[in-house]
């Protein structure tokens, strides 16, 4: 075996240019896979964090069934108790209470159906990007009463501006008529039409009074420090809620709150995977080609080795060792380079001149950051390793069919 | 026995409609007479509406004025928290008044299929009672027998281009023009909700169901019940009642 390894190593460097090119192709594929996968995952993380910051949060505590139809009566009766549990869990960045009702918003002659959301302005500032996208007027302050924030499209539809009155008419938690007049303090534009068209935010205290909520809320929304910890936090929270006898409440994470986002990520991932498979196939064929060429070129040499007493099995081992040497060297080199490049951009970010405006709307800077993980680091190179090994099998096995005399002739 | 039943039906029919051939009965005529009797030329009534859900129940009392097919005013009288809230309907348009903020809000068209005051009746049910008559083609589907009355089942499908949300409405009407039931079907002909009328009594020389119950299909123990405490039919009512100015009072 030892002698075969030495022979394989020498054979690899007998044609340094060909071997170098093959390794470079493999290395390049690995580098690309590591970087692209990391970039894709990083992009998802950015997307998810942006989406949860617009509205839903990473986690929510709601009454059972509320997520399905947002029925007024399904409330978190004692949000302070939930808050107490939340403050004992590590990894939670911030949390806030919200209440929501479908209502009419009217400016006198024009009326639209809207979602009226009661918020805690001070806490919400840290959680939601809406405070960053107030385009006219200002965000609500902590002790504000009787003020409202409205979406830009709604403001346009209602033909009102900052300082104008908006009448809200809906139904209270007890079924009574809920009505209030609020003064528009700020107009926000998230860039998401649905939100800009039908959202009115008022202070939670106003909401609780107008909609007969007492101390109850509809959602306790939480932001985690890290996206990867969300599942664990949700589990811990469920457990501590069960222990403290909080019944009728459920913990929902962002995948349950934003099923549409999960779907679009899956779609994107699938199309990305198809692209990577094509890339790997191209690499595989180029390697197959190289090895086949090598075998044809060296037919005489193999014939001679066989005439000197080498068994076909030994030749196959030799050839496989050669190809494995090339792929392993290529993969290791490519992966290392990929990791280095990814790490560089992970700390510096990649600027997208075109996407800046779009990202700003979500309250993000114009830079995207790849995110290196075990999966994105090893999935691609391992696949390349596997595919190249398989494609090297064919030429190696072909050698067994050689007849020494014909080969040397 | 079966033959005997049929014979009985024929005899009863012969007595009741001695001058009318049953086959010539027109769905439209039946529906038109029924809705005319239901609404009268004008009416003043007081009623209680109970919204019932498995976990809770809530009753609102109100007073209602109607004139013809198109105009109505409903004002809440109890509970105290909601007193003075009023809904004015003229044709397809609806306005809502809230005394607390002293504002009148015109209901946008997109809101017409929403629940009215959280009940199982939609704004459309209120605003478009005459739409059943005019926006649909009525076909007499079946004649059955119940408590000594003949009961007509009329299937009403929307006319092409009619601005309605239902795929079909089925009406069950007694031979004395009393509405017994109204079933609402979606475009796939699935039952969405159904209203049944009962407590039929005599008012000002005409028949009127004092109790109306609307229930969503498939929902157990969920319904909205309207019970009329009092109703009187008039020749007419002053136009001023159905004005936005009076909505505030």
Tell me the residues of A at the B interface, defined by beta carbons under 8 Å apart. Answer: 73, 104, 106, 108-113, 167, 169, 171, 174-177, 179-181
Contact B98 A169 (CB under 8 A): yes
B193 is a domain residue: yes
Indicate the pLDDT class of residue B21, thresholds 50, 70 and 90. very low
- Percent over 90 (pLDDT), chain A: 19
Q: Which of A107, A179, A197, A212 to mutate to test the interface with B (most CBs of B within 10 A)?
A: A179
Instruction: Determine whether the interchain pair A104/B105 forms a contact, defined as Cβ–Cβ distance below 8 Å.
Output: yes
In a domain, residue B7? The reply is no
DSSP 8-state code for residue B107? P
Please check whether residue B220 lies inside any domain of the structure: yes
> A101, A192, A114, A186: which is closest to A149 by C-alpha?
A186
CB-based contact B95:B105 (threshold 8 Å):
yes
| Upstream peptide bond of B95 is cis (omega within 30 degrees of 0) | no
Q: Is the pLDDT of residue A280 over 70?
A: yes
pLDDT band at residue B5 under the 50/70/90 scheme: low
Q: How confident is residue A365, by pLDDT bands cut at 50, 70 and 90? A: low
DSSP code, position B121: S
**A108 to chain B: closest CA residue:** B105
Residue B57: which domain range?
A: 25-247
Q: How far is B105 from chain A (nearest CA, A)?
A: 6
CA-based end-to-end distance of chain B = 63
More confident residue, A152 or A2: A152
Tell me what percent of the residues of chain B surpass a pLDDT of 90: 6
The nearest CA of chain A is from the CA of B220 a distance in Å of 17
Place of tokens 């896979």: A33
Chain-chain contact of B108 with A111 (C-beta, under 8 angstroms):
yes
CB contact under 8 A, B103 and A111: no
Of A109, A176, A180, the CB nearest to B82: A176
Residue B89 CB burial class (10 angstroms; 0-12, 13-18, ≥19): buried
pLDDT of A256-269, one tens digit each?
888 888 888 899 88
Residue B23 confidence (pLDDT): 42
Q: Do A111 and B51 touch (CB under 8 A)?
A: no
> Is the pLDDT reported for residue A279 higher than 80?
yes
Which value, to the nearest 10 degrees, does the dihedral of the CA atoms of residues B138, B140, B145, B148 take?
A: 60
For residue A271, is pLDDT > 60?
yes
Q: Give A-chain residues touching B101 at CB under 8 angstroms.
A: 167, 169, 179-181
Average pLDDT over residues A96-112: 88
Nearest to B101 among A110, A171, A179 (CB): A179
How many other C-beta atoms lie within 10 A of the C-beta of residue B86?
20
Give the containing element (helix H, strand E) for A206.
helix A204-210
Name which of A103-107, B46-50, B130-134 the model is least confident about. Answer: B130-134
Record the tokens describing residue A266, joined without a space.
């899956």
Interface contact B105-A174, CB threshold 8 A: no
Domain-embedded: residue B20:
no
- For residue A361, the model assigns a pLDDT of 57
Q: How many residues does chain B have?
A: 249
Which of B51, B101, B106 has the CB atom closest to A181's CB atom?
B101
Nearest to A112 among B81, B101, B108 (CB): B108
**Would you say residue B4 lies in a domain?**
no
Residue B98 to residue A179, Cβ atoms within 8 A: yes
pLDDT computed for residue A357 by the predictor:
67
Average pLDDT over residues A233-242: 86
Candidates A356, A118, A167, A78; CA nearest to B104 is A167
Q: What CATH number is given to the structural domain containing B175?
A: 2.50.20.10
Range of lowest pLDDT (A344-358, B18-32, B97-111): B18-32
Residue B8 resides in a domain = no
User: Given pLDDT bands bounded at 50, 70 and 90, which one contains residue A1?
Assistant: confident
Residue B143 domain flag? yes
ipTM of the complex: 0.74
- Which residue reads 């549409």 in tokens? A260
Q: What is the mean pLDDT of residues B159-185?
A: 87
Please check the confidence at residue B1 and state whether its pLDDT lies above 80.
no
Give the chain A residue whose CA is nearest to the CA of B94: A111
pLDDT at B129: 65
The shortest CB-CB distance from B51 to any of A175, A179, A180 is to A175
Candidates A108, A171, A115, A74; CA nearest to B76 is: A171
Which residues lie below 8 Å from residue A82, measured CB to CB, with a gap of 6+? Answer: A61, A76, A220, A241, A246, A249
Q: Kindly report the number of other CB atoms within 10 A of residue A374's CB atom.
A: 7
B20: phi then psi, degrees, rounded to nearest 5:
-115, 130
Number of helices (H) and strands (E) in chain B: give both, helices first: 5, 13
In DSSP terms, A251 is beta-bridged to: A61
A159-217 pLDDT per residue, tens: 998 989 999 988 888 888 888 999 999 999 887 888 889 999 999 999 999 988 888 99
Asked if residue B146 is part of any domain, the answer here is: yes
Name the residue in chain B with its Cα closest to that of A72.
B118
Q: Choose the weakest-confidence range: A94-98, A137-141, A361-365, A371-375.
A: A361-365
Given pLDDT bands bounded at 50, 70 and 90, which one contains residue B25? low
With 50 as the cut, is the pLDDT of residue B15 above it? no
Q: B175 to chain A nearest CA, in Å?
A: 38
How far is the C-alpha of B181 from the C-alpha of B171, rounded, in Å?
6
The beta-carbon neighbor of B107 closest among A111, A171, A176 is A111
Among A60-69, A150-159, A255-264, B203-212, the range with the most confident prediction by mean pLDDT is: A150-159
Provide the domain count of chain B: 1
């Amino acid at each position: 075996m030892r002698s075969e390894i030495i022979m394989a190593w020498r054979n690899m460097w007998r044609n340094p240019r060909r071997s170098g090119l093959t390794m470079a192709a493999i290395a390049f594929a690995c580098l690309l896979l590591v970087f692209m996968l990391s970039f894709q995952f990083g992009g998802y993380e950015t997307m998810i964090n942006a989406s949860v910051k617009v509205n839903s949060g990473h986690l929510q505590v709601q009454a059972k069934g509320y997520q399905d139809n947002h029925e007024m009566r399904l409330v978190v009766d004692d949000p302070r108790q939930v808050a107490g549990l939340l403050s004992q869990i590590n990894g939670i960045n911030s949390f806030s209470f919200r209440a929501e009702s479908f209502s009419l918003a009217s400016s006198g002659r024009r009326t639209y159906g809207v979602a009226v959301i009661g918020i805690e302005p001070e806490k919400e500032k840290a959680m939601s990007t809406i405070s960053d996208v107030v385009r006219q007027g200002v965000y609500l302050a902590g002790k504000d009463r009787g003020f409202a924030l409205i979406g830009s499209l709604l403001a346009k539809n209602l033909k009102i501006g900052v300082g104008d009155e908006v009448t809200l008419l809906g139904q209270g938690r007890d079924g009574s008529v809920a009505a209030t007049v609020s003064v528009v303090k700020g107009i926000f534009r998230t860039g998401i039409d649905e939100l800009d068209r039908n959202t009115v935010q008022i202070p939670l205290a106003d909401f609780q009074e107008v909609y007969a909520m007492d101390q109850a809320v509809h959602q306790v929304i939480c932001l985690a420090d890290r996206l990867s910890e969300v599942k664990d936090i949700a589990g811990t929270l469920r457990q501590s809620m069960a222990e403290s006898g909080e019944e009728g409440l459920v913990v929902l994470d962002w995948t349950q709150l934003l099923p549409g986002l999960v779907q679009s990520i899956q779609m994107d991932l699938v199309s990305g995977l198809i692209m990577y498979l094509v890339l790997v196939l191209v690499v595989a064929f180029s390697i197959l080609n190289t090895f086949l060429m090598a075998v044809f070129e060296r037919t005489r040499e193999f014939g001679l080795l066989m005439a000197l007493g080498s068994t076909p099995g030994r030749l196959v081992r030799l050839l496989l060792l050669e190809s494995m040497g090339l792929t392993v060297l290529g993969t290791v080199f490519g992966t290392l380079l990929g990791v280095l490049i990814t790490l560089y951009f992970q700390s510096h970010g990649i600027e997208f001149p075109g996407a800046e405006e779009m990202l700003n709307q979500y309250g993000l800077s114009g830079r995207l950051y790849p995110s290196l993980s075990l999966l994105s680091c090893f999935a691609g190179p391992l696949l390349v390793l596997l595919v190249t090994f398989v494609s090297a099998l064919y030429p190696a096995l072909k050698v067994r069919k050689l007849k020494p005399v014909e080969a040397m002739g | 026995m079966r033959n005997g039943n049929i014979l009985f039906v024929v005899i009863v029919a012969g007595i009741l409609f001695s001058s009318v051939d049953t086959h010539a009965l027109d769905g439209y005529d039946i529906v038109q007479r029924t809705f005319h009797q239901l609404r009268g030329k004008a009416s003043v009534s007081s009623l209680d509406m109970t919204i019932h859900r498995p976990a809770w129940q809530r009753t609102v009392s109100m007073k209602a004025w109607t004139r013809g097919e198109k105009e109505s005013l409903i004002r809440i009288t109890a509970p105290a928290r909601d007193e003075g809230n009023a809904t004015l309907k003229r044709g397809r348009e609806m306005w809502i008044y809230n005394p607390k903020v002293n504002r009148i809000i015109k209901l946008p068209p997109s809101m017409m299929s929403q629940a009215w005051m959280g009940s199982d009746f939609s704004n459309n049910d209120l605003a478009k009672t005459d739409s059943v008559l005019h926006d649909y083609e009525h076909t007499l589907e079946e004649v059955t027998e119940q408590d000594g009355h003949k009961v007509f089942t009329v299937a009403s499908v929307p006319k092409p281009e009619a601005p309605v949300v239902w795929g079909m409405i089925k009406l069950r009407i007694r031979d004395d023009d009393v509405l017994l039931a109204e079933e609402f079907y979606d475009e796939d002909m699935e039952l969405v909700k159904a209203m049944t009328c009962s407590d039929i009594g005599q008012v000002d020389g005409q028949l009127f169901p004092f109790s109306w119950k609307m229930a969503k299909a498939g929902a157990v123990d969920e319904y909205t019940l309207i019970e009329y405490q009092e109703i009187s039919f008039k020749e007419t009512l002053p136009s001023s009642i159905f004005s936005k100015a009076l909505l505030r009072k």
